[in-house]
Structure formats: structure tokens, C-alpha cells
Amino acid sequence: MDDPVAATLREDPTMAALVDRHGPLDVAPADDEFGRLCTSIVNQQLSTASANAIRERFVAELDGDVTPERVLAADESALREAGLSATKVEYLRNAAAAFRDGDGEFTRAGLAGVSDEAVVDRLTEIRGVGAWTARMYLIFALGREDVLPLGDLAVRKGIDRAYNDGEELSRAEMREIGEAWRPYRSYGTRYIWAEYES
């Protein structure tokens, strides 16, 4: 994490404590945007432990090579045996078809210069990619630095815990807290996740 990020986050005393506790965390684009989108689809509405186990089996089923072509060619029953629901298999195939047919539209290069909200709009046209998944894509696939994904339960619970002794805050209150982290809200989000999981 470079100095402007740390300096900005440290202006918020609560966040400064999290930065000290968890050390440098980065927001770097993924080497493989499609693989990262698949990870977010697998993770939808699952605990971290369940998602990790299913994702490992899913990747193994594709011989470690998560490409649109392999997802589309994979045997559905084998994907189901890996722990994916029929719905998630459908969602993964929808994403694979969009990437295969999109001629680079969803890559970092294809989305360069496109606003975060416009990226969310484009991605959510893929059936099975909702706003939460699209925001995970912004952070983890594209490395966008100013995303505050309040659709994520762990983010909301983490903010409640760090800023309000675990008592529930409204999303408007959470957005106000996040204003202090601009233009690095993705980094703030990573610290909230780290604190929530610790």
C-alpha cells in the first residue's frame, strides 16, 4: 500500500487502528479476470469455508484452467458433484458465454475508462451476476480503488463492529463513514474484511 492510501485511511482514527493491526493490504487487479468472476459467482451467499472448498473442487474439475471454453464444455453432473447448485452452474455458464462472445468487453482493457457504475450495469446484464458480484469484480478483477460494497454482509457487520460496538448502522451511516476513505474505499473495505474475519 503506497503512502497516499495510508495517509488518507489514517485520517480516520478507527481505520488507522485497523491499518496498524493488519499491516499493508493491497487492491491489485487479478491476472485472470474471468477466473476471478467465477470465484465471486461460486462465493455468492456462502460462508468463506464452504465457498473455498467448492471453488477448489470446481477448479480441479477444470484441471486448474478456468477458461470460458472449459466451463462451457464441463460435464454438468461433475460440476454438481463439486458442490455447485444447478443455478450456479447456469450462472457460471452464462458468464463463460458472455466472456467468450464479448470480444474482450469485460477485461481490464475493455473496461478501461468505463465508470464503476457503468461496469456494474454491464456485468449485471449477465444473468447470475448481481450488484454484489459486480462490485467484487470491480475490486478483485479490475483493481478499482474506490468501491464500497455495502451489499456484502461481512462489510456491513464489520463496519458495525469497528464503528458502533456491533450495533447495526444504517447504510446511509455506513456510506458516511466510508466518505473518510475516499478515493480509496476499496482499501478501507479490505481492512473491514480483515477485521471481521480476525
pLDDT per residue over 127-156, tens digit each? 999 999 999 999 999 999 999 999 999 999
List of the chain residues with pLDDT < 50 = none
* Separation of alpha carbons 18 and 102, rounded Å: 40
Max Cα distance, the chain (Å): 52
DSSP state of 102: T
pLDDT per residue over 5-32, tens digit each? 999 999 999 999 999 999 999 999 999 9
Give me the pLDDT at residue 198, please.
87
CA nearest neighbour of 155 among 195, 123, 125, 122 = 195
- pTM score: 0.90
* Separation of alpha carbons 120 and 136, rounded Å: 10
* Separation of alpha carbons 139 and 129, rounded Å: 15
